[in-house]
Chain A
Amino acid sequence: MWLDPANPQLNKNGELHHLLSLEGLPAGVLRQILDTAESFVGVTQREVKKVPLLRGKAVFNLFFEPSTRTRTTFEIAAKRLSADVINLAINVSSQSKGESVLDTVANLAAMQADMFIVRHAASGAPYMIAKHVAPDIHVVNAGDGRHAHPTQGLLDMYTIRHYKGDFTKLRVAIVGDILHSRVARSQIHALTTLGCPEIRVIGPKTLLPSHVNRLGVQVYADMRQGLKDVDVVMMLRLQNERMKGALLPSAQEFYKYYGLTEDKLALAKSDAIVLHPGPMNRGVEIDSSVADGKQSVILPQVTFGIAIRMAVMSLLAGGQR
């Protein structure tokens, strides 16, 4: 096995071959991705927003779970690298799970795919695909179940570094539905690896994983306490389907206690920035005046997200064969 068995996204030289999770990625690899993305931000501001790096390569967007935004940013990123992009939205219900996913992948590999961007409702699906593809094919996890969303975590790190610089002096709060959030997990792993000394998670007990403190974070049920003196506020999307179960009484009540309003944000540092992975539920987890306010960096996040995905794809595709 030429991939590191302990961390199958790295080859034996410690270089990235797949991007499956930010968990276990060394700080050097994370910084290399962020630094490379910085160079791509320049490209996206030019007259011609393309570079020829992935010319002749075929990137398959393999979305077993619906997503418009993430798929689009991967598509834009791949096109700006001059790759050919093929979008496949695969309806899970029409497939029996397990083997048939691998059959789909094997068929696409036979069409000379070079890279799979995979989104799947089941945690671990991109790992299974990565395990079965030929050694010259790369897999990027674009969100799997509750597990991980590494490129979102990376673009959040890029955004924080852009506005705040050094991670080792920051107090960061992650607010909302931590339990179901792959974004939160990726953020926590990346912040920890990059040396962030204080990570707080804020949310109702029903939406916090039972052993979340084992990830090295501080848990707050009271948002006002949790936001006190933080440098960065990372909001999570409240998925409407959670409201139907017994986890939350109502969107109104969630907004009252955990919605980010101007008066709650005032408890954070005066220069604190506000992030949100989108799509936003205005009036549920975030108030419009905050989302559109001067501390919001939500739209720059989207722009940086393209550069991050360009960096990830070009680092994966460029050699190490």
Chain B
Amino acid sequence: MPANPLPDAEQLLASLTDRMRPAVGPDTGLVGIHTGGVWLAERLHQALGIKLPLGTLDVSFYRDDFNKKGLRRNVKSSDIPFDVDGCKVVIVDDVLYTGRTIRAAMNELFDYGRPASIRLATLVNRGGRELPISADFTGAEISAGADESIELARDAQGRLSLQLTRN
């Protein structure tokens, strides 16, 4: 097996945490997108000392490719255990690529209420955007080909790593 060409996810998470620290407070509403984004958001929630409970989104019911691909298996439940109205929200996802997942997440979030603001934190920004969406906080910029996919993985000890697969 070739050496993993991608940076260490734990180090990226540490620098992402440092970048977010001055910009968030205990009343920031942190929302992770299933599944990788939730893993990251759990870690950030603890490291940043956020007091509002953690929110999670599964954007399956808001995806724009439903008519092509249908519902995937194992749809998780979305859960926003705080009042979105007037809240300063940070959406957390593992990889920012086309921007379509983030659009779906914003649409879903607005069905819970009207947030004061939404910012975006992603571990990896890989370019290839198809929508006018950009991240406010990023761990690293990584270029990857259209035939490659970057995914976050979590082992039994809870250690995060990035995996590159060719389709």
Assess whether B77 is interfacial by the CB under 8 Å rule. yes
Chain B residue at smallest Cβ distance from A82: B61
Q: In the assembly, what is the distance between CA of A42 and CA of B107, in Å?
A: 16
Is B78 in the interface zone, CB < 8 Å from A?
Answer: yes
Task: Annotate A43-60 by CB proximity to B: 1 below 8 A, 0 otherwise.
Answer: 100111011110000000
Q: Which residues of A contact B113 (CB under 8 A)?
A: 47
With a CB–CB cut-off of 8 A, which chain B residues contact A38?
77
Picked from A43, A47, A317, A320, the residue with its CB within 8 Å of the CB of B61 is: A43
Alpha-carbon gap, A71 to B93, bound state (A):
40
Q: B79 is contacted by which of A40, A42, A319, A320 (Cβ under 8 Å)?
A: A42
The reply on A39 being an interface residue by CB < 8 A is yes
- Name B's interface SS: loop
Is there a chain B Cβ closer than 8 Å to A32's Cβ?
Answer: yes
Query: Which chain B positions have C-beta within 8 A of A53?
Result: 61, 66, 71
Total number of residue pairs linking A and B with CB closer than 8 Å: 55
> Could you tell me the distance in whole angstroms from the C-beta of B62 to the nearest C-beta in chain A?
6
- The interface residues of chain A lying within 8 Å CB-to-CB of B112 are 46-48
Verify A39–B68 contact, CB threshold 8 A: no
Interfacial chain B residues near A5, Cβ < 8 Å? none
A52 touches B73 (CB 8 A): no
B67 CB contact (under 8 Å) in A42, A50, A319:
A319
Chain A residues with CB below 8 A from B69, complex form: 318-319
Nearest CB in chain A: distance from B60 CB, A: 7
> Please, which residue of chain B has its CB at the minimum distance from the CB of A42?
B77
Say whether B111 contacts A48, CB under 8 Å: yes
Whether the pair B111, A46 counts as a contact (CB closer than 8 A) is yes
A233 CB, nearest partner CB in chain B, Å = 29
Q: In the complex, A129 Cα to B84 Cα: how many Å?
A: 45
Chain A residues within an 8 Å CB radius of B76: 39
Residues of B near A317 (CB, < 8 A) are 70
- Using Cβ atoms and an 8 Å threshold, which residues of chain A touch B111? 46-48, 50-51
Shortest distance from the beta carbon of B68 to any chain A beta carbon, whole Å = 6
Which of B67, B70, B77 is the one whose CB lies under 8 Å from A39? B77
Contacts of A51 in B (CB 8 A): 61-62, 108, 111
B107 engages A52 (CB within 8 Å): yes
Measured between beta carbons, the chain A residues less than 8 angstroms from B108 are 51
B104 to chain A, nearest CB (A): 9
A253: B residues at CB distance < 8 A: none
A315 touches B74 (CB 8 A): no
User: A36 contacts which chain B residues (CB < 8 A)?
Assistant: 71, 75
Q: Are B75 and A35 in contact (CB under 8 A)?
A: yes
Q: Report B-chain residues with C-beta under 8 Å of the C-beta of A41.
A: 77
Check if B58 is an interface residue, CB within 8 A of chain A.
Answer: yes
Q: How far is the CA of A39 from the CA of B59 in the complex (A)?
A: 11
User: Is the pair B68, A319 in contact by a Cβ cutoff of 8 Å?
Assistant: yes
Nearest A residue (CB) for B110: A48
A32→B62 contact, CB < 8 A? no
In the assembled complex, 11 residue pairs joining A and B whose CB atoms fall closer than 8 Å, in A order, are: A39-B76, A39-B78, A47-B112, A47-B113, A51-B62, A52-B61, A53-B61, A314-B71, A317-B70, A319-B67, A319-B70
* Residues of B that sit less than 8 Å from A by CB: 58, 60-62, 66-71, 73-79, 107-108, 111-113
**Inter-chain pairs besides A48-B111, A51-B61, 9 sampled, C-beta below 8 Å:** A36-B71, A36-B75, A39-B77, A50-B111, A51-B108, A314-B61, A315-B71, A317-B70, A319-B69
